Amino acid sequence: MAENAPASATRPIGVFDSGIGGLTVVSALRGLLPNESIFYLGDTARVPYGGKSAATVQRYSLEIAAMLLGENAKTVVVACNTASALALPRLEETLPVTVTGVILPGARAAIAKTRSAHIGVIGTRATIDSGAYERALRTLNPEVRVTARACPLLVPLIEEGWIESPITDEIIMQYLGPLLTDGIDTLVLGCTHYPLLRNAIARLLGEKIALVDSAQNCALAVKDLLLRENLGAPEGNAGKLQVALTDPPDAFLRVAREALQLDVGEVQVRAL
């Protein structure tokens, strides 16, 4: 990062999700930007956002983002596909800092990878019903063909820790079989939980299907933003990770921590 970065550059990156799935984005950020401090806030008291109305998701997102600003966040990352789909424009026009969602970075990566311009997208019902990925993909390439599928059972399976399970394999193929039949060559994992299933999905789909991990591509977009805005922490800065939740953690925190090999330290609980 730039040596002449302002003093404010040591402020944390604020990251939020409706729950703990957004720790996949934190893991990608930690790997890519080890000098950066991160404050992660998971709205576990109101998870999931996937079944809520757009107005409710916007209200929750603004409340959680305000809490991140209270932690002196220099930028906000929406590590939730549902909130990115339904609340990003509102956040961008309201917050005094830059905001990065997961959808546009994922769409850009998918357009770069596809060979046949036929892209599959999987996500929660709210994300798929919003059409946000289709809009983003078609803005980048009007000729692209998109096949989208809601996969509501995957998040509960991941949260149970059934990441490598024959049952999970069967359900993945129930969802993805029609996309394969339809002829996709690229698949966007359009939920921040789904990178925890990346190995299983890659094994089941084979090498011919390119996978796009929204968490990794979101982290790359944040890296570019920090460079562009001269907000990157200086080299040698000891990046710290703090995790706070709006309700006490359940067993999924252990699943995520072990799967991502993240040291989350002592988890804070913040009342709404």
Give the per-residue pLDDT at 93.
97
Indicate if the pLDDT at residue 157 is higher than 90.
Answer: yes
Catalytic-labelled residue, pool 191, 205, 212, 245: 191
In a domain, residue 163? The reply is yes
Whether residue 53 sits in one domain with residue 24: yes
Using one digit for the tens of pLDDT, what is the confidence trace for 163-201?
999 999 999 999 999 999 999 999 999 999 999 999 999
Residues 43 and 68: beta-carbon distance below 8 Å: no
Pairing of strands 210-213, 186-189: parallel
Indicate if the pLDDT at residue 150 is higher than 50.
Answer: yes
Whether residue 239 sits in one domain with residue 147: no
Using one digit for the tens of pLDDT, what is the confidence trace for 133-146?
999 999 999 999 99
Percent of the chain with pLDDT over 70: 97
- Spatial distance between the Cα atoms of 8 and 182, rounded to a whole number of angstroms: 49
- Spatial distance between the Cα atoms of 69 and 65, rounded to a whole number of angstroms: 6
Whether residue 108 sits in one domain with residue 97: no
- Supply the mean pLDDT for the chain: 94
Give the end of a domain, one of 180, 195, 215: 215
Whether residue 109 sits in one domain with residue 97: no
User: What average pLDDT does this structure show over 212-219?
Assistant: 94
Residue given tokens 């005094």 in the structure block: 96
Instruction: Place 1 in a pLDDT band, splitting at 50, 70 and 90.
Output: very low
CATH of the domain at 265: 3.40.50.1860
Give the per-residue pLDDT at 76.
98
Residues 42 and 20: beta-carbon distance below 8 Å: yes
Whether residue 111 sits in one domain with residue 17: no
Give the count of alpha carbons within 13 A of 16, CB side only: 34
In a domain, residue 171? The reply is yes
Give the per-residue pLDDT at 252.
87
Instruction: Place 7 in a pLDDT band, splitting at 50, 70 and 90.
Output: low
Strands (DSSP E) along the chain, which ranges?
13-17, 38-42, 75-78, 98-100, 118-123, 145-150, 186-189, 210-213, 241-245, 268-269
Q: What pTM was computed for the model?
A: 0.93
Residues 57 and 266: beta-carbon distance below 8 Å: no
Full domain range(s) for residue 162? 104-215
Residue given tokens 């549902």 in the structure block: 82
Instruction: Place 115 in a pLDDT band, splitting at 50, 70 and 90.
Output: very high
Give the end of a domain, one of 194, 215, 236: 215
Whether residue 191 sits in one domain with residue 67: no
In a domain, residue 1? The reply is no
Whether residue 110 sits in one domain with residue 82: no
In a domain, residue 140? The reply is yes
Instruction: Place 5 in a pLDDT band, splitting at 50, 70 and 90.
Output: low
Whether residue 150 sits in one domain with residue 124: yes
Indicate if the pLDDT at residue 50 is higher than 90.
Answer: no
Give the per-residue pLDDT at 2.
47
User: What average pLDDT does this structure show over 34-53?
Assistant: 93
Neighbouring-strand partners of residue 38:
13, 241
Whether residue 254 sits in one domain with residue 168: no
Indicate if the pLDDT at residue 89 is higher than 50.
Answer: yes
Q: What is the tally of structural domains in the chain?
A: 2
Give the count of alpha carbons within 13 A of 85, CB side only: 29
Active site (annotated) includes residue 80: yes
Amino acid at 75: T
In a domain, residue 2? The reply is no
Distance of alpha carbon 123 from the chain centroid: 11
Whether residue 206 sits in one domain with residue 244: no
Catalytic-labelled residue, pool 20, 41, 78, 80: 80
Give the per-residue pLDDT at 85.
94
Give the per-residue pLDDT at 251.
87
Phi–psi pair at 24, nearest 5 degrees? -65, -35
Whether residue 26 sits in one domain with residue 125: no
Instruction: Place 9 in a pLDDT band, splitting at 50, 70 and 90.
Output: confident
Is the pLDDT higher at 2 or at 232? Answer: 232
**Segment holding 106, helix H or strand E:** helix 103-113
Whether residue 191 sits in one domain with residue 128: yes
